């Protein structure tokens, strides 16, 4: 799994490439924590995300709680299925 961070003022884009599972999820958590406190909104670019498990979902909730605004973009149908099963689609701003 590869994580790419792009900071633009108070906005940050985190792109996840690969599998977000129990073993790799902590990397996403770490990447989010490394963001400066000035960051107000975070965008998770999931265009290259191939897989997500509950561990990944927990990291999303954690990020959601730590920033003012969280958007998730470019979600594939497969990942969207998982969001639906967990009700994330109702609580998160998914575009």
User: What residues numbered 27-56 form the site for another protein, per CB under 8 A?
Assistant: 50-55
**Residue 57 binds another protein (CB under 8 A):** yes
Nearer to another protein, 11 or 19 (CB): 19
Sheet of 11-20, strands arranged across? 2-8, 11-20, 41-52, 69-73, 93-94
**Residue 3 binds another protein (CB under 8 A):** no
Helices (H) and strands (E) in the chain, counts: 4, 5
**Residue 80 binds another protein (CB under 8 A):** no
Output Rg (C-alpha) for the chain, integer angstroms.
12
Instruction: In angstroms, give the least distance from the CB of 78 to another protein.
Output: 6
Q: Which residues sit at the interface with another protein, rule CB under 8 A?
A: 21-23, 50-55, 57-59, 61-62, 65, 78, 81-82, 85-87, 91
């Amino acid at each position: 799994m590869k994580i790419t961070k792009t900071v633009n003022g108070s906005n940050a884009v985190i792109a996840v490439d690969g599998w977000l599972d129990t073993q790799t999820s902590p990397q996403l958590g770490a990447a989010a924590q490394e963001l400066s406190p000035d960051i107000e909104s975070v965008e998770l670019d999931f265009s290259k995300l191939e897989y997500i498990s509950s561990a990944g979902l927990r990291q999303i909730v954690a990020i959601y709680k730590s920033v003012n605004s969280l958007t998730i973009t470019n979600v594939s149908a497969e990942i969207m299925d998982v969001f639906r099963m967990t009700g994330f689609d109702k609580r998160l701003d998914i575009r």
